A = this chain, B = another copy of it.
């Protein structure tokens, strides 16, 4: 049985979508038990909407909520009875294998490190969201946890990302690229120039060299390694262009009676295409390298993303990802 703590209070669609996602996950045919963390009466109220296996749901009361705008370090320190702190503590204590939250990224990143703690040898735990690409999906690592990272961190990101991509997402011998501003080896900033030869000489990964941001949506690399500032820019630009273009497209279809008719004709095919570019279809971003699994979903996650994220925790545990990370990281260090 895989035990997953779910933050019922986090994200734009709390508590409705986290509870729905959790109920769907335990009904998915996997051996999952969910620990729903948040205000007890709110959770019970939501749960009343569904019929489900009561042995697989435990409500964990948490009286406080960490808001998105709150300074993370302070929030983790002060709000001991928040859903995020309590959920992370369930992982720390070994009651749960994983914690899934759509709440404050900052609090989850800080809390993950402070409460759950890093695997020995892991210097910085990266946040690794999944990107839809022309080829399927790619992992962008790191996307927000560690700005001003060092080259040695990038090497660890590459290893951890490869393990996750191969064993959780099923991409064999994943191609690892380093995010760069050109494809020639001499291109890049100081960090990339330092990290490039280290990655090139790293026996544990399938390094393919530099990847320009332009190539990411094409799926040129399965794992794209970067420092968190550039990674976050890439991720958010991806989302921003996508939503702006979709908005413009919708507008286009409403310009006249003819375009409205066109929309009706193309609607089913178009929906399928747009779904392919919807990052929320693919599950949340794991914060890798912790003694347990912490997953951050999009703030606007629906039950689908929550449920996919919970189910991915099963593969994470079954595949012993943390054992694999531990072995790879500490082989390097010795």
Q: Which residues of A contact B (CB under 8 A)?
A: 69, 71, 106, 133-134, 144, 147-148, 179, 181-182, 184, 186, 188-190, 192, 212-218, 228-230, 232-245, 247-249, 251-253, 255-256, 258-259, 261-266, 269-270, 272-273, 276-277
The interface centre, meaning the residue of A213, A238, A261 with most chain B CB atoms within 10 A of its CB, is: A213
Known: A240-B213, A263-B262. A252 touches B273 (CB 8 A): yes
Q: Is there an interface contact between B237 and A241, defined as CB atoms closer than 8 Å?
A: yes
Known: A233-B179, A233-B181, A238-B237. A186 touches B71 (CB 8 A): yes
A213 proximity list for chain B (CB < 8 A): 232-237, 240
A270 proximity list for chain B (CB < 8 A): 249, 252
- Contacting residue for A266 out of B186, B228, B233, B253, CB 8 A: B253
SS of A interface (majority): helix
Distance (whole angstroms) from the CB of A247 to the closest CB of chain B: 7
Q: Is there an interface contact between B214 and A277, defined as CB atoms closer than 8 Å?
A: no
Known: A181-B233, A242-B241. A259 touches B265 (CB 8 A): yes
A238 proximity list for chain B (CB < 8 A): 237, 241
Distance (whole angstroms) from the CB of A162 to the closest CB of chain B: 22
Pull 27 A–B residue pairs with CB atoms less than 8 Å apart, ordered by A: A69-B184, A134-B247, A181-B236, A212-B240, A213-B232, A213-B235, A213-B236, A214-B236, A214-B237, A214-B239, A214-B240, A217-B240, A217-B244, A218-B240, A230-B230, A230-B233, A234-B237, A237-B241, A241-B241, A245-B245, A248-B276, A249-B249, A249-B273, A252-B272, A258-B265, A258-B266, A261-B265
A237 proximity list for chain B (CB < 8 A): 213-214, 216-217, 233-234, 237-238, 241
Distance (whole angstroms) from the CB of A124 to the closest CB of chain B: 14
A69 proximity list for chain B (CB < 8 A): 184
